Amino acid sequence: MAERPPSSPRVVWEEVGAPQESSSAPEPCEVSLVQPLRIDETLPEEIPEAAGWDPQSAWLLSLLESSDMGTVFGKYLQPSQNMGVLLAAIEALPADDVQDRQMASDVVNMALRDPASWLMDVPKIMRYIHKNVEHICTEPARNSLDSLLLLLTEWSPREVVRSLLSISPTCDRAAVAVWEVLVSERWALRRVVSELVDVLQDRRLRRVFRFAAEDACIYPLALLASADLDDKEFAALYKAQRFLRRPSLAMLSLVLTSLVTLSKTPKMARKMLVMLPDIIENLLAANSNVRMKALMLFINVIQHMTREEADLIALRLAEKLLLLFDDECSRVRELSIRLFKDVMKTTVGRNIKKMVKKVQGVLLQLFFHTNEKVESVAKASWDTLSACGKFLGWRRLSFLAETEQKHQIREFLITQKRNSVDEYLLQSLPYLKDPEATVREEAVRFIGLAARHRRILRREKLWEFCHSALQSLGNDAEFSIRSLAAQTVLILTAIKQKPRSSWRCCT
């Protein structure tokens, strides 16, 4: 998010010559607009003319703190004056003061109920939105702005699209934030894309908006309007452009938002199969927000594909998903784990053996994530672990996951494939540093149980890795983890010192 500009001091409006204290003074809403007003020195210089609204509008806006908005606007403002108040409200949405933000949201919401009286100059409103969108940090204020943008799109889509292209022909961050809202709803996306197609088909306009059309992901959005093309024609058109091959993060985020919106319908979801390989390649290079959108898209698309179609990308996608299980964003972890379950089920033919190896290698990862305090991640991990058991034909594992029997799962993983214990131990070590204490504790418990297996003693370096990693937990913030780690270190040391002849009886 862009750095906030310094907060402007609040504007004070007073009636010139009005008595300071008088019981007979009229109520604020009774003061005539034709009386002269004095602007306090704290008023920013740009407001009277450059901002596009007058002192009368600002004075009425200040009255909202103590008056009913409907009464004030209905009595004092003409429709042409409403614009000034709306622009002032948009500028107040990022305010630090809670009352100022609430007042601004109330004005915007009033405009939503009567657009004919308020939306008199769409290009000017779009300029104010573009100027302030990055500085709005609170959810209620942002919801009001988003609702205004969608209403403008419904009210005048041509002016919205062309104004935004003119304001930011190179699609800066603020413009991307606005485009994101415009393509977040299917009906709005259709109108926006239709206007973009008109721009691109008009030679004069295309020349004016050249940079926006070619460099700022406008063409990709317009391409999505090709709903009348069949799957093969759409695929050929996409392959000729490959606009997601080396996208900027801003472009990828914007296009993914529109793809997620469209992928909710089976017809469009099936067309997007051709785009998925490029999205997969960009998945790890993206930030958590883009990753989340990409995962939502995959989930929508895969459910509308045949198993044979999904199998074409299953292994490549599975490899990427495994690296997202430990993402810092809990939502990304949840979606990647759920998507892995869906991808696993689509595997057919020659790829089944390869998928079996990947599934076997991810079991311990999933088990550790069942210990997360984020309920949605833990639930997704249990569900996927159970599905893995069914995929592998390990019914006991599936049952233990469904009934959430942690101790029995530890035992099962170690005894089911004894030659995998060394690998399990190596997988456990990074989780000793997991941000969640519950995950760190489970990693210590698993290492302690696995350490009793004789194979750990055949690799000196592995023993040293485990011993050193556990000792480092002596400074852990949780006493229970420090204590458990110390006990496990004693077990490792005792096992190490036993005569070799006694190892063979230890399982």
Indicate the average pLDDT of the chain. 79
The answer to whether 189 and 183 are in contact (CB under 8 A) is yes
The contacts of residue 416 (CB under 8 Å, 6+ apart) are 394, 397
Secondary element (H or E) of residue 369 = helix 351-369
d(CA 268, CA 229): 10
Q: Which amino acid is at 28?
A: P
Give pLDDT tens digits for 216-227. Answer: 556 666 666 666
Going 315 to 316 to 322 to 327, the CA torsion angle's sign is: negative
d(CA 165, CA 202): 14
Stated pTM of the model: 0.76
Give pLDDT tens digits for 384-436. Answer: 999 999 999 999 999 999 999 999 999 999 888 777 788 888 899 999 999 99
The answer to whether 25 and 19 are in contact (CB under 8 A) is yes
Exposed e or buried b for every residue in 127-154, given b needs 16+ CB within 10 A?
bbbbebbbbbeeeebbebbbbbbbbbbe
Residue 449 is predicted with a pLDDT of 87
Secondary element (H or E) of residue 13 = strand 13-15
To the nearest 10°, report the CA torsion of 416, 420, 425, 426.
Answer: -150
Residue 66 is predicted with a pLDDT of 39
Give pLDDT tens digits for 6-48. Answer: 443 343 333 333 334 434 443 333 333 333 333 233 333 333 3
d(CA 495, CA 452): 7
